[in-house]
Structure 1
Amino acid sequence: MEGIMMKNGDKYAVAVRKPDQEIEVKVEEYKGIIKNKKIKSLPVVRGVFSFIDSLVLGMKTLMYSADFFMEDEEMEPGRVEKALDKATKGKADSVIMGGTVAFSVVMAVVIFMMLPYFLAGVLRHVISSETLIALAEGVLRLVIFAGYILLISRMKDIQRVFMYHGAEHKCINCIEHGLELNTENVMGSSKQHKRCGTSFLLFVMIVSVIFFIFIRVDSPVWRVVIRLLLIPVIAGVSYEFIRLAGRSENKVVEFLSKPGLWMQNMTTREPDESMVEVAIASVEAVFDWKAYLAENFNWEYPREDMVSQAPADMADPTGQADPAEAEGSSPAEAGA
């Protein structure tokens, strides 16, 4: 929809360009499904829970932004909506959100994990090498993923989401390169970012290939079970790499980050200035970028109340401490 969500710590902001062209900004807290900070800081484990949080929060903000356009069209709730609202005692939105997230996860597992496995399984009639079959499964998974992104990128509404996605990246790149956060500087910044959710999802595909090459069982049933059980682990490992990529200038890490950046050419588009204004409004609602620039780039501002702070956690797909986005077009990324 016509908006962007940014998250900093437990606070997040949703900025939406309403039909009357005004920007509405909402700031709320979201502490996640796991409140224990020790658990949330465990390597690999934190990636699993943070990814789930990003799905829930992404869907929540998506529904919030959609409400503005439903109100503009003056749509009356139908019989099904009224019945559901009555049956859930006014919690229909929460039920719908939970059901949508669950359905999205199931479909993602079926399309991107199980379908490639069964398609590659056909090769067992002509190939005896399990390594080659695992590689074929990985190639099919990457092809299906890229094909899916390419297909949805042709949809007009998704193209606008991808433009907001680009505005989000540009906004964060502007800050991280020590530039004042204004429309001109943001428009001149890159629309690619190493901690993007697109890079995370692509690396999930790549890590799954590595796992399934070395983890083998003879039973077809156990092959399916193991693939399902390893999904959280694969997501956690992929998250750790994306987190590292956002902090490291190592040449090897830079090289491994390239495929994700290339994939972002499909999931981000150049935004217009009105979209950049929405992104800036979202950032400023939860992140003191002036204090960040003052601390990290020695910028000076005539403010007596300036408080030094660490970078915001708005960049990676799961919300760790870095100034970037909470990812969108899918519930894991930022275009609300």
Structure 2
Amino acid sequence: MAYSGVGGQAVMEGVMMKNKDIYAIAVRKPDQTIDVTTEHYGTSKQYKIFRKVPIVRGVISFVDSLYLGMHSLMHSASFWEEEDESEKKKDIDPKKEKAQEKAVMTGTVIFSIVAAFAIFFALPYYLSVFVGRWVFNPWLIASIEGVLRMVIFIGYVALISLTKDIRRVYMYHGAEHKCINCIESGLPLDVDNVRKSTRFHKRCGTSFLLVVMIISIVVFMFIRVDSRVLRLVFRLLLIPVIAGISYEFIRLAGRYDNLLIRILSQPGLWLQRITTKEPDDEMIEVGIASVEAVFDWKKWQEEQGE
């Protein structure tokens, strides 16, 4: 069965699902009801044109994921604020509040990008420079840098999974995958069928990040400049290119299912054993609500069966 094209992210006590230029955020509120917010994103003509250009669409998708991810997290977190803070917000001008939220989100995205580069790119690079005092083969040094980057990344993902809140996010991540897998398996989207579906999916953002790490090993091997600062700058500049290439691979993995694709996708699926957990039925209900807000899965399944 061809893939549905629906993708999503887990958020605080909820799931964000995106289909083309529509996305929905479903959140389990403190009163146990499910709030579903649906919005349009990226509807301009120029945006749609660039979304069709190979490599470039990967860069756009990466930026979209950052923006929508932070927006979804802030939206979901707003339902879990203390009541006294909610009372204070009543006296705030809605326009001013929206501007403040946009500023906070922009600052958070910028900080996240800088922190990610420092931890996952700059730190492994300087550690490999230190190792380079005893290793003189540039190809080997580049390989060591790549291995260090992957170890740091996997260690970070595993470490934060030990916290209660992140574990619940990972459970919602599992619910997101199970919903999509249920649809793509041709089963009706209900709690029982979703529960039986696998929580692993080849188009996962976790797999994307791991592919970025792997491809960066190969790309960075070809950076041959004497200046350490320039080598670091080139790594920064090449991140969008690496993200674009990685996106094309994940997209290809979602469209085809053969032995080569399964082998190449396996590392990402292994990593999902950490980043996804089995959800409970209430989390599955949230995932279903998010899917149905943006995607007519019944019509899609009928079209695939014709």
1:236-263 Cα deviation digits (max 9, x unpaired): 1111100101011121121010000000
In the TM superposition, 1:136-285 aligns within 5 A as 136-285=144-293
Aligned positions, number: 294
Question: 1:44, 1:239 within 8 Å by CA — same for their partners in 2?
Answer: yes
Q: TM-score, normalised by structure 1?
A: 0.83
Q: In the alignment, does 2:127 pair up with 1:119?
A: yes
SS in 2 for 1:69: coil
In the TM superposition, 1:1-336 aligns within 5 A as 1-31=12-42, 35-70=46-81, 73-75=83-85, 91-298=99-306
Change in Cα spacing, 1:32 to 1:58, as seen in structure 2 (3 Å) is: farther
Q: TM-score, normalised by structure 2?
A: 0.91
Change in Cα spacing, 1:261 to 1:33, as seen in structure 2 (3 Å) is: farther
Question: 1:33, 1:49 within 8 Å by CA — same for their partners in 2?
Answer: no
Question: 1:34, 1:49 within 8 Å by CA — same for their partners in 2?
Answer: no
SS in 2 for 1:128: coil
What 5-or-longer segments of structure 1 have no aligned partner? 299-336
RMSD: 2.1
More deviation, 217-226/50-59? 217-226
Question: 1:169, 1:192 within 8 Å by CA — same for their partners in 2?
Answer: yes
Return the alpha-carbon distance in structure 2 between the equivalents of residues 56 and 33 of structure 1: 17
What 5-or-longer segments of structure 2 have no aligned partner? 1-11
Return the alpha-carbon distance in structure 2 between the equivalents of residues 187 and 89 of structure 1: 40
Return the alpha-carbon distance in structure 1 between the equivalents of residues 139 and 273 of structure 2: 31
Identity %: 58
Return the alpha-carbon distance in structure 1 between the equivalents of residues 97 and 14 of structure 2: 29
1:72-116 Cα deviation digits (max 9, x unpaired): 5332688xxx99x89967510000000001100110011001100
Question: 1:15, 1:281 within 8 Å by CA — same for their partners in 2?
Answer: yes
Q: Which amino acid is 1:42 matched to?
A: V
Change in Cα spacing, 1:77 to 1:131, as seen in structure 2 (3 Å) is: farther
Question: 1:200, 1:260 within 8 Å by CA — same for their partners in 2?
Answer: yes
Displaced runs of 4 or more, over 3 A: 32-36, 85-90
Return the alpha-carbon distance in structure 2 between the equivalents of residues 86 and 25 of structure 1: 21
Indicate the structure with greater helix content: 2
Return the alpha-carbon distance in structure 2 between the equivalents of residues 33 and 225 of structure 1: 32
Return the alpha-carbon distance in structure 2 between the equivalents of residues 134 and 34 of structure 1: 41
